[in-house]
Amino acid sequence: MFRSILVFAFLLTLIPLSSAYSATAGKYSDYFEPLPRRVDSLTNPLNTAKIRLGKMLFFDPRLSRSGAISCNTCHGLSTGGVDNLPTSIGHGWQLGGRNAPTVFNAAVLGTQFWDGRAADVEEQAGGPILNPVEMASTEELAVKTINSIPEYVKLFKKAYKNEKEPVSFVNITKAIAAFERTLLTPSRFDRFLVGARGGLRQDEIKGLEIFVSKGCVQCHNGVGVGGGSFQHFEYGTDEGRFNVTGNESDKKVFRVPSLRNVKRTYPYFHDGSVWNLSEAVKIMGAVQLGVELTDEETDLIIKFLGSLTATRLIIKLPLLPPSSASTPLPDPLFSVKQEADNVEVTGSTGSGSNPVTPSAE
């Protein structure tokens, strides 16, 4: 009897603690949402075969002209979904024009790329493959490469079993996007938002309170803790969204980045010019909010941001199928400029590559 009373008394002590914890989390429900278990698409429904195929393609450098660059090169899944470089190194050692955004949780964001020119991960997935500064391939070459690998052909038929010609550039990008839609990284912050134990510590909650009271939450909100809006950012020389729309009002306007896993996605900003998170937080406070954050306030905000880091993430590398005798050979010395010069001199039709443009990020 005495033992039962002790157990009952212990359970009673848990009830107010749990209720208080939920109430604390509930204060922020107007600002944030926890990550969903999956992010599906009406135009690209997920299935196991498509996701498996997309994972293989994400890691396959044969989609690049050089045979050396894959999606994972710039969006490394072991390094926060980025390459931790100011701007990525692409075909022929060319440097991209913008910092590579993380691929983790990209599917929950409203748009893709710093200038928002892609509506979703399906539209985004094809950009780097075709960009001459990045993977420097063409739709025709990518499809020819996949069709030359028997195992890939079988996998495409399985993933797109209702299609007459399953191997197409659109289906390549849809498969990659399907895999990207699974790259969600729940953190302790998500546990906090649903009122579960194991969420935020007291110093992280203090950092969250400062994050909200100072106004950071005006832009960094929603399920991505950012990524749902465009904001003017007077920093650097990049004209931002203006390069897409041509509207004067879009000069220096960029998509707000997600802050999930931000402690791992350095260097920061669209130009990758800031390596230190404390410096980045203070710059954002001064430039965007007009406030001078103290060292203590900055440290507490960073403690909160640390709670956005994935708690557990295991990704096994896929085993890629071997090439065949008909698989196009790597061409690391291919030059878009040289080909353009040849077209001008000989009048040939060329390979169909996009013109040289800034980085697709």
Residues serving a catalytic function are 134
Q: What are phi and psi of 166, to 5 degrees?
A: -65, -30
Cα-Cα-Cα-Cα dihedral sign, residues 269, 275, 277, 281: negative
Non-local (6+) Cβ contacts of 124 within 8 A are 106, 112, 113, 118, 177
Residue 299, SS3 per DSSP: helix
Q: What is the DSSP string of 117-157?
A: -BSSHHHHHHHHHH-TTTT---HHHHHHHHHT-HHHHHHHH
CB 104 within 8 A of CB 261: yes
Residue 254 corresponds to which tokens in the numbers above?
């960029």
Alpha-carbon span 154 to 149, nearest angstrom: 9
- Greatest Cα pair distance in the chain: 97
Alpha-carbon span 186 to 183, nearest angstrom: 10
Residue 235, SS3 per DSSP: coil
Residue 45 corresponds to which tokens in the numbers above?
């429904």
Residue 156 corresponds to which tokens in the numbers above?
């495409």
